Amino acid sequence: MSQHSMIDIAKAPNSAYGKKDWEAVKASVTPGVLYDEIATHRKGKGVEQFLAVLQGWGKAFPDSKATYQNAVASGTTVVLELTWHGTHTGPLETPEGSVAATGKHIEVPACMVVEVGDGKVKSIRHYFDMATLMRQLGISKAA
Residues 6+ apart with CB under 8 A from 48: none
**Predicted confidence (pLDDT) per residue in 76-109, tens digit:** 999 999 999 999 999 998 777 889 999 999 999 9
CATH class of 3-136: alpha beta
- Nearest residue to 28 via CA among 40, 39, 14: 14
pLDDT at 142 over 80: no
Return mean pLDDT, the chain: 94
Q: Are 104 and 87 in contact (CB under 8 A)?
A: yes
Residue 67: in which H helix or E strand, if any?
A: strand 65-74
For 20-25, which contacts have Cβ atoms below 8 Å and span 24 or more sequence positions? 20/58, 20/62, 22/51, 22/54, 22/55, 25/50, 25/51, 25/54
**Predicted confidence (pLDDT) per residue in 20-38, tens digit:** 999 999 999 999 999 999 9
Domain segments of the chain: what residues? 3-136
pLDDT at 4: 87
